Amino acid sequence: MNPARVRRFLTDLKKGKLTIDETLSKLKLLPFEDIGDAVIDHHRELRRGFPEAILAEGKSVDQIARIAKKMKQRGSNVLITRLSPQNARELKKKLPELDYHRLARIGLILGKRIEKQGKGTILVVCAGTSDLPVAEEAALTAQVLGNEVDRLTDVGVAGVHRLLAQKEKLTQARVLIVVAGMEGALPSVVGGLLARPVIAVPTSVGYGASFQGVAALLSMLNSCVPGVVVVNIDNGYGAGCAASLINKS
Amino acid sequence: MNPARVRRFLTDLKKGKLTIDETLSKLKLLPFEDIGDAVIDHHRELRRGFPEAILAEGKSVDQIARIAKKMKQRGSNVLITRLSPQNARELKKKLPELDYHRLARIGLILGKRIEKQGKGTILVVCAGTSDLPVAEEAALTAQVLGNEVDRLTDVGVAGVHRLLAQKEKLTQARVLIVVAGMEGALPSVVGGLLARPVIAVPTSVGYGASFQGVAALLSMLNSCVPGVVVVNIDNGYGAGCAASLINKS
Amino acid sequence: MNPARVRRFLTDLKKGKLTIDETLSKLKLLPFEDIGDAVIDHHRELRRGFPEAILAEGKSVDQIARIAKKMKQRGSNVLITRLSPQNARELKKKLPELDYHRLARIGLILGKRIEKQGKGTILVVCAGTSDLPVAEEAALTAQVLGNEVDRLTDVGVAGVHRLLAQKEKLTQARVLIVVAGMEGALPSVVGGLLARPVIAVPTSVGYGASFQGVAALLSMLNSCVPGVVVVNIDNGYGAGCAASLINKS
Amino acid sequence: MNPARVRRFLTDLKKGKLTIDETLSKLKLLPFEDIGDAVIDHHRELRRGFPEAILAEGKSVDQIARIAKKMKQRGSNVLITRLSPQNARELKKKLPELDYHRLARIGLILGKRIEKQGKGTILVVCAGTSDLPVAEEAALTAQVLGNEVDRLTDVGVAGVHRLLAQKEKLTQARVLIVVAGMEGALPSVVGGLLARPVIAVPTSVGYGASFQGVAALLSMLNSCVPGVVVVNIDNGYGAGCAASLINKS
Amino acid sequence: MNPARVRRFLTDLKKGKLTIDETLSKLKLLPFEDIGDAVIDHHRELRRGFPEAILAEGKSVDQIARIAKKMKQRGSNVLITRLSPQNARELKKKLPELDYHRLARIGLILGKRIEKQGKGTILVVCAGTSDLPVAEEAALTAQVLGNEVDRLTDVGVAGVHRLLAQKEKLTQARVLIVVAGMEGALPSVVGGLLARPVIAVPTSVGYGASFQGVAALLSMLNSCVPGVVVVNIDNGYGAGCAASLINKS
Amino acid sequence: MNPARVRRFLTDLKKGKLTIDETLSKLKLLPFEDIGDAVIDHHRELRRGFPEAILAEGKSVDQIARIAKKMKQRGSNVLITRLSPQNARELKKKLPELDYHRLARIGLILGKRIEKQGKGTILVVCAGTSDLPVAEEAALTAQVLGNEVDRLTDVGVAGVHRLLAQKEKLTQARVLIVVAGMEGALPSVVGGLLARPVIAVPTSVGYGASFQGVAALLSMLNSCVPGVVVVNIDNGYGAGCAASLINKS
Amino acid sequence: MNPARVRRFLTDLKKGKLTIDETLSKLKLLPFEDIGDAVIDHHRELRRGFPEAILAEGKSVDQIARIAKKMKQRGSNVLITRLSPQNARELKKKLPELDYHRLARIGLILGKRIEKQGKGTILVVCAGTSDLPVAEEAALTAQVLGNEVDRLTDVGVAGVHRLLAQKEKLTQARVLIVVAGMEGALPSVVGGLLARPVIAVPTSVGYGASFQGVAALLSMLNSCVPGVVVVNIDNGYGAGCAASLINKS
Amino acid sequence: MNPARVRRFLTDLKKGKLTIDETLSKLKLLPFEDIGDAVIDHHRELRRGFPEAILAEGKSVDQIARIAKKMKQRGSNVLITRLSPQNARELKKKLPELDYHRLARIGLILGKRIEKQGKGTILVVCAGTSDLPVAEEAALTAQVLGNEVDRLTDVGVAGVHRLLAQKEKLTQARVLIVVAGMEGALPSVVGGLLARPVIAVPTSVGYGASFQGVAALLSMLNSCVPGVVVVNIDNGYGAGCAASLINKS
């Protein structure tokens, strides 16, 4: 509650500029005003250098194009996730500057140069070939958000030595994103080796009782390694954002 | 269908010893007879040297005692699983020869000496201290069934080097039982190291989204290591039986 | 921890060849090295005669072809699972030596002759016609891994006598793979008849409350017959691998 | 509405012992009568062929006693299910004529002699000792509802010959209730042998992935034997009612 | 093989028209017959009162045709469920006598006249228009199995009076099949009105939290009306079989 | 029970026009009649001004057309939900007066002018662009049912200030419908600000562990704001009906 | 802080009884007040129309007492839900004016007279005796919030005529709360009879596949009657709040 | 293994206070040490930056004491989570230096002074009074790991202004841990306000369809705010570790 503002209401009431009912209804709205003040300043700060993203899934090409144009006009970089090849082709007709990354299923419109803001390297570790689209979504997101990104691919727990052979890369990262489907054990093994933040990303890779990634998700949430944190199934974009927030802190 | 038997029916019908209705109702029962024949011989072989087990959970002490006595009279070794300390105390009053193993929650009445029948060693690997009761249930079951059993304890994936320091034990086993709760990743890591049958046992150890062992169960069913097989949550007894069947083959 | 190696570090430190900080950072990496050593030897042994498999689902034809070629060049037999007829056709254009088994949905490239290594026969028992693709995936996998394989088809529990009429086949097997969808009762009935390892494979055959194989999976995990072990839904390949590991032990 | 009672009113009216108004006011009370907490549906006996039962679970002893007394006063037989031994003892103080069946957890107050109304025998088949309480609930319910009941106990699918040895009992029943926990396969095996209605009752017996009877329930709903019907987990009472309805049709 | 036919063979044997060997060879096929993929259970009709049906889902048109032809040759009526219009068209080319019922998705080949064997009428009650395919599958199955069948359509609980206006039909049935999706309340309301066996069939009609029929299934399993029995989601065929078994008892 | 009617039966019995058995059988049917009487009047009232809706999903275009024509003939307005663009096109050929709203997926045939009956405004608040189809289904339904409807779009909790900037709209509504997918937090935030009924509608928007709207549904059911009520996932139509009932009360 | 009180302050200010500073310091406490563990939202009553309630479950008696005292001091009525008899006894020692309603498990401290603010009657309809605690929680909550409340008890769908006999009560209500466990069908039947808002409350009454109220919850969410809205399982308090919001609109 | 300690050994070696053999034998014990049930991973502190914790749940007081003593002897700080008051009392008899924090359910034995290593402040935000135990577990863990920790309590989304009034605290944190049960919306609202890493901790607070924290967990995994990461239900310890890893990076 902003005391100055309430004092003004009371003065106006006393002076007869407001009736009791008007004053009462103004008091009812106080939390709205308070929140508004609090948020708006902050929001400006938040938006600095942070491109807004569009989740293409569940939107028509027309809707995507309309939103992207608005963002572009405001000078934002535009990042479109889960963009299918077909939709990318159609979208490109409306937005020729669109840059489509097929493996990551990401469309980019980069008006501003990306400046490196992260303090270290983000390493994206990927269990198997089929997990690559999600890993690439994470890696590309982190890059667009201004981070140095490294990749480590096809190092599942079935052959732990393949992972360990890459100790250089592992120990040099400041933040790790570990992407795995099926039994989702890789983040636990990686997390057990290093004193770095590990963001685990379950993928929907698998069949039967993997339940489209639920097995991997539960595995990661129940990791016996403390400090492993988890994002939604296939949510490479969210992992890239989280890693970026950490890397910039 | 046993042709000789049908021929006998038909002959009896022809001779008037059977009416058409009697013959028809005998033919209706044919599968019963066939199955009976097939099974009974076999069952005798099955029972050889194999003690029957009693699942104590959900049974009264009276029921357990009554079944155990019958089995004893037939000369079987008796193995009682999921026997609580309280019930063990009460049961001992009725069956003084009962030998109770508290950690494994198993009660034993061994009338016959156990003879070693397994061809190699069964190794029971256990992820954490809290998984020990299930691991011991598996190990003791396998021993009572006539197998050499070795144990490897507290070698979870959070510190993979602890596991690998034991490579001697791991490579000497003919069959492995790997017991783990939480994220259940241990059987995948073990299975990736060895060309041996691995029986994974999820335990209900964990909390929250472990769902009493479901996370570990799913993790094991979805292992990226082909050839890992799984038994029910906390089912140390079943794992011991399976390992024994394999070790005797 | 490899003592010789640590001794060398310490000697170097003492001799001034390493600073304290350098020694410390070398010690930090020790577990990595240890694990690497442990695994690599073993892994070589593991790979002997064991073809690597490619799960085609979730991979593009290009990705499959690239991996398969690499494996072929290393002299491995190649086994591609879950390969759809369309993808098989396309793949054959890139890999003419591909041998496609439509029912099992398996593609094979056999550079080396398969030598029989299993000690006995693996019997694949199949509940219904619709379960055949999974059963064939198991059978073919086991064959490629060097095992004698026999088959028993369409012997569901709705007519138990059909199963029992085959007691010869059943009793002659060293390991059994039992494939069933719907209520998944067959492994329990088979397991109750024989003192042999039984690997149960639930299939996604069924509808409604079968939940794409979950009903069968739960049924098998809860089998009242001790010693039945289970693999993931539709995981014929995993069952074939497990049976092979047992049969070669 | 108890038909005998209505007939008596009508006879009394016809004989002049009751006026039309008296008869009407007596009938008025028949369909339901508010007794505070519960409204006993007296009309149900007429409409559904059996008296209302009281589910003791979730009710206080006072509530049970109050409802039971009202039912008794109307001349109904009273059947109380899920009555714990403790509550039975307390209830008996208020209702000394209560007859408690501990295994079935049923309390009975039989004012009227039960007359046999079923056309054949109902056979209750039970997989294991731990399933007995549910099986007895079914059997006793069916008896109280006026049916001839036979029992077959401990004939699980792990030893199919034990079941088949009872072919007389099986083939003589008009309706079968088959009670099983764990993998719930018994109704499928029984149903495959006979041309009789089979009511499957899953029990909560089991552990781990049995999920308190869900595994057995799903198994029964997915039975490969057409014509098997299912009731809720542990719902012996419902199975007894269903069997009785069929047996009286 | 149907009982009438076996009786004819036996009569012929008794009359001397057939020798024992000839009869035996005719009966030889009784228990089952292997036709490649599938083993037909010829004894089933004798044992269970109705012939095996073919579930078309998950089978190729070739497989269906092969099984159907063998059944036809043995003189069985053939009932094919879940047959899509496309597959029906293709199948008709191979089996011109196929009679396809599009709403019920059932294909029929009736070599023998269906004789009425049921003692009363089976009434199929259907909650909504979208539930009709399942209701028709139930109704047609019951008819083919020799029962008089009546239908009551679009009488959901949202307008209870539509149901009650049909009291004649309801009270005249000997067995009721009640089909409903969404909240699945109809069997409870119907079951509360009548003293007849009620078989509840949940359908996958609905969206969101109906979970493809799970909501209706659970609703039916938990019916507050004792004696309602349940089959699998969308399992009209199973309901028809169960109703037939009851109606013939 | 209709007393006059029963009195007539009893009089007829007394006069000898009915036998006791006839009277008894007439009494048996009483509850049906009573219910019928009770409901039918009411139902007439209920239907006044309330158009019947057709759920297009799961119905053929023929079925939809047939039902819509019947309703039109009775003078009802027709509202068809979940109508796909393709089906709308085909339906329009049969019903040229059909008015199709593509975003809401609703088809309308309005024979009667809609008269405003609601007492205030219904505000439909929508979290994101992808939730718009469900929000529009709700808004359009409420309009067709005679309510003033306002809309507030794309005000998700990720930027709470966007919501709060609309305080005018929020405080002027009499009933609010709040539509959100993903984490479904919006109804809690809105409900915490206002003393108005809030109907929460979860949508299936989201991926991975959103489980097609289950995450949002659970979030809404567990709202820490008392008084938030919930409808099924994607059930804009149901929310519109509920809001209308409240707004007309 | 309730609106009447704020209005009094403002009037006093206007009349000169309070200075601006005095008024400001009185209003200062408005938004919320920190009392250690909990922050009481005093502004809520102004904003949401009813005071904060205390959910006793998961709080210590000390915590409850501390929060309740602060609320009392501010002049709020205090409503404590899910208060066990034991905790109520202990709490009464600290707060002697506590009024405990055992069936509803609610504790009340009413400093202010409750004034009727609702425009009509709220009818709480309850399916069975075991659902009464939840129904009473709803009814008492609505009363404390200033509504006329009526009750209708034990009118489950198993005997639909019991419900219909109460048509007076049903049609006189402005808002209905319908409480049911097991199959949860009652709200659908009630909702189909009336053009009034129906708030469905699933209860955890039931066993087996009722899954502690999930079956009833799903049934209600999938009601075929449009306009039925749902609250969480056993959430009588939430239903009472929602009904009150509607009744005051 | 505490890095300072190893450095001391190496310095001693370099200075000649230790021979190579003595240093080697001191290091030999470092990686892990078998103490019967549990193998303590001393190397972890070096590798992961913090000492192993003991999860008290599922362990006996004897087991806890034995492990804690060994850790103490190595000079590690000991952190015991999920320690019940009863067990704490018993444990204190064996380990008098144990410091028990009842709200956080944590036992501490701090041999070494905790040195601040984090670069900024970790803010633990807590939705309601009932979530406090989990929040305190997180806060205390982070403190023991060497971080500055601040707290913000009882700021649930039902009154968003309570949260926003604390914007100072919110914007000053480097890492945020947000703890919430029920609908779990708080992390989304907090995450939308700040450009800082947010670790969401779902709690099991709630009832009915909260499913012991699953609703909150899903809500957090599906947050519409990108960059929110999640740990297991009630896993305050894991959140504290993750926040510490981030704060030290």
* A30 pLDDT tier (thresholds 50, 70, 90): low
**F6-28 b/e with 16+ CB inside 10 Å = b?**
beebbeebbeeebebeebbebbb
D-chain CB neighbours of G208 within 8 Å are 202, 204, 212-213, 217, 232-235
The confidence score (pLDDT) of residue E138 equals: 98
Q: Is the pLDDT score of A40 beyond 70? A: no
- What integer is the mean pLDDT of A92-112? 93
Q: Is the pLDDT score of A67 beyond 60? A: yes
Q: Which of E188, E209, E224 sits opposite G222 (nearest CB)?
A: E209
**G228-241 b/e with 16+ CB inside 10 Å = b?**
bbbbbbbbbbbbbb
* B173 pLDDT tier (thresholds 50, 70, 90): very high
Q: How far apart are CA D248 and CA D49, in angstroms?
A: 9
* B156 pLDDT tier (thresholds 50, 70, 90): confident
Of B43-57, C128-142, E226-240, H217-231, give the lowest mean pLDDT range: B43-57
Q: Which of H129, H161, H209 sits opposite G37 (nearest CB)?
A: H129
D36: DSSP letter: T
Mutate to test the interface with H, among G52, G62, G203, G232 (most CBs of H within 10 A): G232
- R_g over Cα of chain G: 20
What's the pLDDT tens digit per position in B86-97? 999 999 999 999
Q: Report residue G89 as tokens.
A: 């006894």
The continuous run of DSSP H or E covering G212 comes out as: none
Q: What are phi and psi of A17, to 5 degrees?
A: -75, -25
Q: What is the mean pLDDT of chain D?
A: 86
Q: Which residues of C touch H (CB under 8 A)?
A: 1, 3, 6-7, 10-11, 13-14, 20, 23-24, 27-28, 30-31
D-chain CB neighbours of E47 within 8 Å are 193-195
Compute the nearest-CA separation of E29 from chain B (Å).
9
For tokens 């004939």, the residue is D155
Chain A residue nearest residue H225, CA to CA = A238
Low-confidence ranges of chain H (pLDDT < 50): 1, 29, 31-36, 38
Q: Which of G38, G82, G217 sits opposite H154 (nearest CB)?
A: G38
* A39 pLDDT tier (thresholds 50, 70, 90): very low
The reply to whether residue A30 touches residue G43, judged by beta carbons under 8 angstroms, is yes
- Which SS3 state, helix, strand or coil, does residue G70 take? helix
Please, which residues have CB within 8 angstroms of residue D91's CB and are 6 or more apart in sequence? D61, D64, D65, D68, D80, D83, D98, D107
Other CB atoms within 10 A of residue H6 CB: 20
Compute the nearest-CA separation of F199 from chain E (Å).
16
- pTM (2 d.p.): 0.87
For tokens 């707004």, the residue is F247
Q: What are phi and psi of D220, to 5 degrees?
A: -70, -40
The reply to whether residue E207 touches residue F233, judged by beta carbons under 8 angstroms, is yes
The confidence score (pLDDT) of residue B38 equals: 39
Q: Which of G160, G171, G241 sits opposite F226 (nearest CB)?
A: G241
Q: How far apart are CA G160 and CA G144, in angstroms?
A: 31
The reply to whether residue E31 touches residue B27, judged by beta carbons under 8 angstroms, is no
What's the pLDDT tens digit per position in D101-134? 999 999 999 877 888 888 999 999 999 889 999 9
Compute the nearest-CA separation of B152 from chain H (Å).
10
Q: How far apart are CA D245 and CA F155, in angstroms?
A: 57
Nearest to G233 by CA among G180, G188, G156, G154: G180
How many residues can be counted in chain B? 249
- β-pairing verdict for G78-81 and G106-109: antiparallel
Q: Is the pLDDT score of A34 beyond 50? A: no
Q: How far apart are CA G233 and CA B226, in angstroms?
A: 43
* C34 pLDDT tier (thresholds 50, 70, 90): very low
Q: Is the pLDDT score of A44 beyond 50? A: no
Nearest to B157 by CA among B126, B134, B197: B126
- R_g over Cα of chain A: 23
The confidence score (pLDDT) of residue B9 equals: 80
Of B199-208, D2-11, D148-157, G172-181, give the lowest mean pLDDT range: D2-11
Q: How far apart are CA C203 and CA C182, in angstroms?
A: 8
Other CB atoms within 10 A of residue G217 CB: 31
Q: How far apart are CA G60 and CA G69, in angstroms?
A: 14
Chain B residue nearest residue H214, CA to CA = B209
Q: Which residues of F touch D (CB under 8 A)?
A: 1, 3, 6-7, 10-11, 13-14, 20, 23-24, 27-28, 31
The reply to whether residue C215 touches residue D219, judged by beta carbons under 8 angstroms, is yes
Of A29-43, B130-144, C140-154, H189-203, give the lowest mean pLDDT range: A29-43
What's the pLDDT tens digit per position in G191-205? 988 889 999 999 999
The confidence score (pLDDT) of residue A77 equals: 84
What's the pLDDT tens digit per position in E42-99? 566 655 656 678 999 888 999 999 999 988 887 788 999 999 999 999 999 999 999 9
DSSP structure string for A103-171? TTTEEEE--SPPPP--SSEEEEEESSGGGHHHHHHHHHHHHHTT-EEEEEES--GGGHHHHHTTHHHHH
CA distances to C177, D155, H62, H240 from D186, rounded to whole Å, are 21, 8, 45, 50
What's the pLDDT tens digit per position in F118-170? 899 999 999 988 999 999 999 999 999 999 999 998 888 877 777 877 877 88
Burial class of residue E97 in the structure, from the number of CB atoms within 10 Å of its CB (0-12 exposed, 13-18 middle, 19+ buried): exposed
Q: Which amino acid is at E239?
A: A
* C164 pLDDT tier (thresholds 50, 70, 90): confident
Q: Is the pLDDT score of A32 beyond 80? A: no
Nearest to E222 by CA among E191, E244, E245, E193: E191
Of D233-237, E20-24, E200-204, give the lowest mean pLDDT range: E20-24
For tokens 């790991």, the residue is H145
Q: How far apart are CA A64 and CA A87, in angstroms?
A: 10
F104: DSSP letter: T
How many residues can be counted in chain E? 249
The reply to whether residue E159 touches residue F43, judged by beta carbons under 8 angstroms, is yes
- What integer is the mean pLDDT of A84-109? 96
What is the ipTM, given to two decimal places?
0.85
G-chain CB neighbours of D233 within 8 Å are 207-209
Q: How far apart are CA H220 and CA H200, in angstroms?
A: 7
Residue E239 near residue E177, CB atoms below 8 Å: yes
The reply to whether residue D6 touches residue F24, judged by beta carbons under 8 angstroms, is yes
**G101-137 b/e with 16+ CB inside 10 Å = b?**
beebbbbbbeeeeeeeebeebbbbbbbbbbbbbbbbb
The reply to whether residue B3 touches residue E28, judged by beta carbons under 8 angstroms, is yes
Q: Is the pLDDT score of D150 beyond 90? A: yes
Q: Is the pLDDT score of D36 beyond 60? A: no
Q: How far apart are the first and last CA of chain G?
A: 21
Please, which residues have CB within 8 angstroms of residue D249's CB and are 6 or more apart in sequence? E120, E174, E175, E196, E197, E246, E249
D-chain CB neighbours of C193 within 8 Å are 160
Q: Which amino acid is at B24?
A: L
The confidence score (pLDDT) of residue D39 equals: 47
The confidence score (pLDDT) of residue C145 equals: 92
The confidence score (pLDDT) of residue F38 equals: 38
Q: What are phi and psi of H121, to 5 degrees?
A: -100, 140
Low-confidence ranges of chain F (pLDDT < 70): 1-5, 25, 28-52
- Residues A9, A10, A16, A21, Cα dihedral to 10°: 70
F-chain CB neighbours of H159 within 8 Å are 192
Q: Where are the beta strands (DSSP E) in chain C?
A: 52-55, 78-81, 99-101, 106-109, 121-126, 148-153, 175-180, 198-202, 228-230
Mutate to test the interface with E, among F43, F55, F80 (most CBs of E within 10 A): F55
B-chain CB neighbours of C29 within 8 Å are none
The continuous run of DSSP H or E covering B24 comes out as: helix B20-28
CA distances to C188, D75, D177, D198, D242 from D188, rounded to whole Å, are 12, 41, 12, 9, 18
The reply to whether residue A209 touches residue C234, judged by beta carbons under 8 angstroms, is no
What are residue B199's DSSP bridge partners?
B177, B229
* B30 pLDDT tier (thresholds 50, 70, 90): low
Q: Is the pLDDT score of D154 beyond 90? A: no
Chains with 3+ CB–CB pairs under 8 A to C are A, B, D, E, H
- What integer is the mean pLDDT of D39-59? 66
E-chain CB neighbours of C136 within 8 Å are none
Q: What is the mean pLDDT of chain C?
A: 85
Q: How far apart are CA G82 and CA E225, in angstroms?
A: 30
Q: Is the pLDDT score of B210 beyond 60? A: yes
Other CB atoms within 10 A of residue G197 CB: 33
What's the pLDDT tens digit per position in A208-235? 999 999 999 999 999 999 989 999 999 9
Q: Which of B6, B23, B34 sits opposite E24 (nearest CB)?
A: B6
- Which SS3 state, helix, strand or coil, does residue C152 take? strand
Q: What are phi and psi of C119, to 5 degrees?
A: -85, -25
User: Which of B18-27's residues contact partners 24+ apart within 8 Å by CB, and which partners?
Assistant: B20/E7, B20/E10, B20/E11, B20/E14, B23/E10, B24/E3, B24/E6, B24/E7, B24/E10, B27/E6, B27/E27, B27/E30, B27/E46
Mutate to test the interface with C, among A126, A153, A160, A161 (most CBs of C within 10 A): A161
